Amino acid sequence: MAATNALSEVVFRIRRFDPAANASPRWEEHRLPYTLGMTVLDGLKKLKETVAPGLAWRSSCRMGVCGSCGMFINGRARLACNTQITELGTNVVMVAPLPNFDTIRDLVPDLVPMFDAHQALMPYIIRGDHDEMTLPTGEFGQSAHELEQFLQFSYCIRCGCCMAACPTYATDPRYSGPMPLTQSHRYNADTRDDGFTARRTVLAGEAGPWRCHYAGECSRVCPKGVDPAKAIQLMKRELVLDYLRLRRERCPAEIAARPAGIKRRDGIPEAPKPTI
Partner 1 sequence: MRDQRLWTWHVGAGVVILVFLGLHMAIMHIDTVLGLFNRPGTEAIDWSNVVDRAKSAFFMVTYVMLLGAALFHGLYGLRNILFELNPGAGLKKGLSVLLTVVGVGLFGLGTWAAWASFGLTRAL
Partner 2 sequence: MLVTKGRPNRLGVAGWLGGGRWGFERYLYTLHRVTGLGLLAYFLMHIGVTTFRAFGPEAWERAMGTVSGPLFKIGEYLVFLAFAFHAVNGVRLGLIELGFGIGKPIEPVYPYRTSVDVQRPLAIGVMILAAIIAGLGGVQFLASLR
List of residues contacting partner 2 (CB under 8 A): 17, 19, 25, 75-76, 97-105, 108-110, 112, 116, 148-153, 155, 167, 169-171, 173, 189, 212-217, 219-220, 222, 224-227, 229-231, 233-234, 236-237, 240
Report 124-143 residues binding partner 1 (CB under 8 A): none
- 106 is in the binding site of which of partner 2, partner 1, none (Cβ under 5 to 8 A by kind)? none
76 binds, among partner 2, partner 1, none (CB under 5 to 8 A by kind): partner 2
Q: Give the Cα separation of 254 and 239 in Å (integer).
A: 24
Q: Which is nearer to partner 1, 31 or 237 (CB)?
A: 237
Residue (107 or 231) nearer to partner 1, CB? 231
Strand partners, 28: 14
User: 88-91 — which CB contacts under 8 Å span 24+ positions?
Assistant: 89/1, 89/2, 90/2, 91/2, 91/7, 91/9, 91/10, 91/11, 91/34
Q: Identify what 174 binds: partner 1, partner 2, none; CB under 5 to 8 Å per kind.
A: partner 1
**Amino acid identity of 228?**
P
| Residue 201's binding partner out of partner 1, partner 2, none, with CB under 5 to 8 Å set by partner kind | partner 1
Task: Report d(CA 84, CA 39) in Å as an integer.
Answer: 4
Binding to partner 1 (CB under 8 A): which residues in 204-233? Answer: 204-206, 208, 210-211
The Cα 174–Cα 116 span in angstroms is 11
Helices (H), the chain: 40-50, 112-120, 130-134, 144-151, 161-165, 167-171, 178-188, 196-203, 217-221, 228-243
- The answer to whether residues 143 and 192 touch, using CB atoms and an 8 Å cutoff, is no
By a kind-dependent CB cut-off of 5 to 8 A, residue 233 interacts, out of partner 2, partner 1, none, with partner 2
Closest CB 260 distance from partner 2, rounded Å:
31
Q: Which of residues 232-271 bind partner 1 (CB under 8 A)?
A: 236, 239-240, 242-244
C-alpha 159: how far from chain center? 5
4 binds partner 1 (CB under 8 A): no
Choices 141-149, 166-174, 184-192, 266-274 (CB under 8 A): range interacting with partner 1: 166-174
- Give the N- to C-terminal CA distance of the chain in Å, as an integer: 60
Q: Which residues bind partner 1 (CB under 8 A)?
A: 168, 171-175, 200-201, 203-206, 208, 210-211, 236, 239-240, 242-244
